[in-house]
Amino acid sequence: MRRTAALNKSCSKGTALIAVLRAPRDLGIAAQDHWYRIPLKKAPKHKFTHIAFYQPACFKPCGKRIEYYAEVAGCCVARRLDILPGELGHPAAKQPYLLYNLGPLIKLPRAILNTSGSRVVFGYAPLSRLAEAGDILGIFGVVAVENLMCAVLRAAGFTFRREHVVLRGGRVKYRLDFALFCKSGKLDIECDGHRFHSQPGQRAKDAYRDKWLKHHGWTTLRFGEHEVFNNAEVCIGEINTAIAFYGGLKG
């Protein structure tokens, strides 16, 4: 595994696919054999130049972190049995996979830890953010207002999930800032930065998102950064009202 003190400047404008490894073996394959596989039916929708590997809890004692990434050198389609001939009895042995050829594995100067306990799924991030992120939430561009809301929710004694993922067809549909599960409903708490969410195009996307989530049983409460920073008590009051309307939080 090649080590580096900083991200290569020539590659800093690329995009990283954040890939969740299933087992330590997969990181070993990436390091020694220089490839990574994804089932063709779960093919990534967006282009990327690198893959950053998230090590889940099974990577004891080095779990819940991103330590390594690699540049993608090419891609082809192959059956699992051709990639892993020693696993002919695997249920997906004849299924097609995307096989990504990788450059040398590069170690980040500082591991990106999952200190929030958030569920990590496949996602994308600017490559430059790998060097800037203080924790896993920073990879996905979580802003300061969300950190404040997290502290406020905790101080109020609420049970919630941060960066909760809503799936559709096995893929990530939406990533919620905060999810609260009530006895007769589900709440999505969103913190909207003014610069981003005030744009007409983003407002239309937010409206569609809220409508889609409502159709799937979610009620979305949106709070602007000014509200969170200056009137956190009012925000908590609105959230409390919604929780009461849906019968209180689940135990």
Total count of domains within the chain: 2
pLDDT score, position 199: 65
In this structure, is residue 101 part of a structural domain? yes
Which pLDDT tens digit goes with each residue over 194-234? 554 556 677 899 999 999 999 999 999 999 888 888 889 99
* Higher pLDDT, residue 189 or 193: 189
C-alpha span between 143 and 223 (Å, rounded): 13
Determine whether 15 is exposed, middle or buried from the number of CB atoms within 10 Å of its CB (0-12, 13-18, 19+): middle
Rg (CA), the chain: 20
The length of the chain is 251
| Pure H helices in 97-181 | 129-132, 136-139, 144-155
Looking at the fold, whether 214 and 112 belong to one and the same domain comes out as: no
Q: Where is 162: in which H helix or E strand?
A: strand 161-168
Pairing relationship of beta strands 35-39 and 123-126 according to DSSP bridges: unpaired
Looking at the fold, whether 7 and 117 belong to one and the same domain comes out as: yes
The total of other beta-carbon atoms located within 10 Å of residue 44's CB is 16
The candidate with the shortest Cα–Cα distance to 127, out of 7, 29, 241, 36, is 7
Is residue 3 pLDDT above 70, yes or no? no
Domain with 66 in it: 2-133
In this structure, is residue 212 part of a structural domain? yes
Token readout for 84 is: 């892993």
Looking at the fold, whether 10 and 83 belong to one and the same domain comes out as: yes
State how far Cα 135 lies from the chain centre: 12
Domain at 163, CATH number: 3.40.960.10
Which pLDDT tens digit goes with each residue over 15-49? 999 999 999 999 999 999 999 999 999 999 899 99
In this structure, is residue 138 part of a structural domain? no
Domain at 91, CATH number: 2.30.130.30
Last residue of a domain, one of 72, 100, 133: 133
Q: Is 193 helix (H, G, I), strand (E, B) or coil?
A: coil
CB 88 within 8 A of CB 81: yes
Looking at the fold, whether 225 and 181 belong to one and the same domain comes out as: yes
Looking at the fold, whether 21 and 110 belong to one and the same domain comes out as: yes
CB 118 within 8 A of CB 64: no
Looking at the fold, whether 33 and 126 belong to one and the same domain comes out as: yes
